[in-house]
Amino acid sequence: MAAVPGLEPAALPPDAVELGRVQEAWGIKGWVRLHSHSADPLVLLHSKRWYLSVPQGRYARGFDAFTGTVVVQVAEVKVHADGLVAKFEPVADRNAAEALKSAVISVSRADFPPSSSSDDEFYWVDLLGLSVVNREGVALGVVRDLLATGPNSVLCLEYDADGKTHERMIPFVSVYVDKVDLAARCITVDWQPDY
């Protein structure tokens, strides 16, 4: 593998969100197959500017397409079989596409398309770090992660008790979630600390 010519070095934006990685070359015209971290790749399908970063850990072995971070213009992205494929400018052939294998894909949060007009749809990234309180005002923790469990998602909270950090899980469904207030950075739930 060798460096991919024409890639534009860039600083990773402070609001960058990692959404996936390049899996492998696809075809002979410079397309790549993607691994999306989300079951709903809406942002990847709509954003036209992605940031690629050098992979870490075991994925970094032999990677020399570029150093640091580069920005690529997405010429086209589409659903193919059970995943996504994309074509970047200026990647023109299979060799250049193969060199990008394992590169980390991030998108600036400012480039996300607006969420639906519905008040009950949120990007997961916007829920991370929100405080969670119950109807009585008891603090239950801070959202550290979300899990997709098939029919619904689950809020994974972190809270301190007895000098130790603990985890609490709450289904992210309307039966338990009363209100998500992004401006106040708070989620109100019908949940008790001893559940």
pLDDT confidence of residue 117: 46
Q: What pTM did the predictor assign?
A: 0.73
Out of 2.40.30.60, 3.20.20.70, 3.100.10.20, 3.40.50.880, select the CATH number for domain 8-111: 2.40.30.60
Domain ranges of the chain: 8-111, 124-189
pLDDT digits (tens, 9 = 90+) for 38-95: 766 778 888 999 999 999 988 888 899 999 999 999 999 999 887 899 999 989 999 9
The torsion angles phi and psi of 95, rounded to 5 degrees, stand at -60, -45
For the 124-189 domain, the top CATH level (class) is: mainly beta
147 — pLDDT class (breaks 50, 70, 90): confident
Rounded average pLDDT over 97-115: 91
Residue 118 pLDDT > 90: no
Nearest to 186 by CA among 115, 137, 121: 137
